[in-house]
């Protein structure tokens, strides 16, 4: 008969780690999405030569592994004497990392709107702002949503890397329990189940929104 040393307190410890994971994901996606929209709109509506410096910086965030970014930023802020907590550093780095990808989603979504559609809107007397808010953004949102959902789930899993800064999130809490009770398969299975329980509603929400938009077409 199967027996385990995993106690109720251990499960609560895992859930606390899951709470930290969700909190970091929330702030990272909030900041990253806001910055991504600003950067994406700027890049989509401005000549390439004017956005080249921004594109270069965003390429750095997309190219350098997230773990290196976390460690370097945390080290540099300590050297500079800023005394920012590891949690805040994690949220900032993940938000910038997310914005680099989200900006491409926004830029691609706007670029995917047919030029003829935009010309028709302007020929009807719409201003640039009306064209963007009433025509371009609604269409682009439908294009971007599936990728944004995937980005959200990816960032949630990437939060496991913040354990290198001493933050106890879901994966780190499971590792601590494994070290104590020496049941890696069972504990990691429980942790994986928690990840699934968190992720599943997000993916289903995205699918439901897509179905609603198709029904309203």
Q: What are the residues whose beta carbons fall under 8 Å from the beta carbon of 68, sequence distance 6 or more?
A: none
What pLDDT is recorded for position 18?
Answer: 94
Architecture of the structural domain at 19-216:
Orthogonal Bundle (1.10)
d(CA 129, CA 114): 17
Q: What is the pLDDT along the chain (217 residues), one digit of tens a residue?
A: 567 888 889 889 999 999 999 999 999 999 999 999 999 999 988 888 888 999 999 999 999 999 999 999 999 988 888 888 999 999 999 999 999 999 999 999 888 888 888 788 778 888 878 888 888 888 888 888 888 999 999 999 999 999 989 899 999 999 999 998 888 898 999 999 999 999 998 888 878 877 777 766 5
What pLDDT is recorded for position 169?
Answer: 92
Q: Where are the chain's structural domains?
A: 19-216
What pLDDT is recorded for position 215?
Answer: 67
* SS3 sequence of the chain: CCCCCCCHHHHHHHHHHHHHHHHHHHHHHHHHHHHHHHHHHHHHHCCHHHHHHHHHHHHHHHHCCHHHHHHHHHHHHHHCCCCCCHHHHHHHHHHHHHHHHHHHHHHHHHHHCCHHHHHHHHHCCCCHHHHHHHHHHHHHHHHHHHHHHHHHHHHHHHHHHHHHHCCCCHHHHHHHHHHHHCCHHHHHHHHHHHHHHHHHHHHHHHHHHHHHHHHHC
Q: Which long-range contacts does 82-87 make (Cβ < 8 Å, 24+ apart)?
A: 86/162, 86/165, 86/166, 86/167, 87/24, 87/167
């Amino acid at each position: 008969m199967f027996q385990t040393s995993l106690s109720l307190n251990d499960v609560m410890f895992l859930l606390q780690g899951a709470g930290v994971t969700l909190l970091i994901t929330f702030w990272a996606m909030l900041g990253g999405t806001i910055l991504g929209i600003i950067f994406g709109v700027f890049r989509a509506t401005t000549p390439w030569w004017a956005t080249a410096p921004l594109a270069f910086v965003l390429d750095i965030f997309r190219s350098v592994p997230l773990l290196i970014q976390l460690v370097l930023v945390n080290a540099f802020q300590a050297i500079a004497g800023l005394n920012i907590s590891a949690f805040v550093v994690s949220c900032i780095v993940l938000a910038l990392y997310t914005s680099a990808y989200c900006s491409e989603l926004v830029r691609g979504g706007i670029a995917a709107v047919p030029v003829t559609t935009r010309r028709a809107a302007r020929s009807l007397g719409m201003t640039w702002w009306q064209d963007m808010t009433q025509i371009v953004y609604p269409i682009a949102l439908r294009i971007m949503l599936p990728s944004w959902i995937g980005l959200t789930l990816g960032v949630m899993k990437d939060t496991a890397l913040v354990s290198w800064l001493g933050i106890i999130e879901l994966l780190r809490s499971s590792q601590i329990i494994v070290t104590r009770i020496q049941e890696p398969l069972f504990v990691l299975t429980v942790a994986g189940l928690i990840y699934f329980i968190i992720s599943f509603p997000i993916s289903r929400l995205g699918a439901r929104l897509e179905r609603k938009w198709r029904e309203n077409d």
